[in-house]
Amino acid sequence: MTSADSPDDDPTDDELTDDEPIEDAKSELKEAKARLEAEADKAVTEFDQGVVDLLAWILDTETRARIYVYLRQHPKSTSDEIADGTGLYPSTVREALAELHEEATVERDKREHSGAGNNPYEYEAIAPSALVQGVVGQVQRELNTVFNLDSLLGGDRADGGPVTISVDDTDETSEAVEIDIEDAESSETDSSDSEDTTDENPTDDTS
């Protein structure tokens, strides 16, 4: 028998069986990793879409919202860079940027470089607190319209309203929006209760 025919050189059935669990484990690990990555990507996408949907309500369109989010992540970007980053058409981006700049939602400056040719504009979005302050008046008016619905339906239009909204951005670490609602009926009830309490405990007149 030659060395090539030695039984030691041929893998046995036991050796093949021992390798199978290892390969199965590696395959399962790869599948688990792929699932985790897919779930992570999905979570990020859903989060981004949730923010975009909210901003679309404030900024009127999803296109403008996506541009705003991108500029908060990548300030001082050109229109071409925004188009590449968002997947929007360059002409759509330029049109939206012109509108956002006119509304003072984005600011722009010429990009400085030493090369020849035209320097493109680079854009930067205003802070979220400033964006909120810009819509506070509109939201407050709409809330007061709903609050005074009964008066409006009865033909007696109420001036102003009990709903006031304020934005506090004095704290650098956090920004808060406060909504104060004063219920006139509750105030009247509290006042009448106070008067009733006074009548129940009259002072003694010793004079």
Mean pLDDT of 96-117: 87
Over residues 47-65, the pLDDT tens digits come to 577 888 888 888 889 999 9
Q: Is 183 exposed, middle or buried (0-12, 13-18, 19+ CB in 10 A)?
A: exposed
Over residues 188-198, the pLDDT tens digits come to 445 455 555 55
DSSP states of 78-90 as a string? -HHHHHHHH---H
Choose among 24, 56, 113, 121: nearest CA to 82. Answer: 121
* Model confidence, pTM: 0.56
Give percent of the chain with pLDDT exceeding 90. 25
Helical H runs in 60-159? 62-73, 79-86, 90-102, 128-147, 149-153
For 51, residues 6+ apart whose C-beta sits below 8 A from its C-beta are 65, 69
More confident residue, 28 or 84: 84
Mean pLDDT of 96-105: 95
Show the domains of the chain with their CATH numbers: 44-126 (1.10.10.10), 130-200 (no CATH)
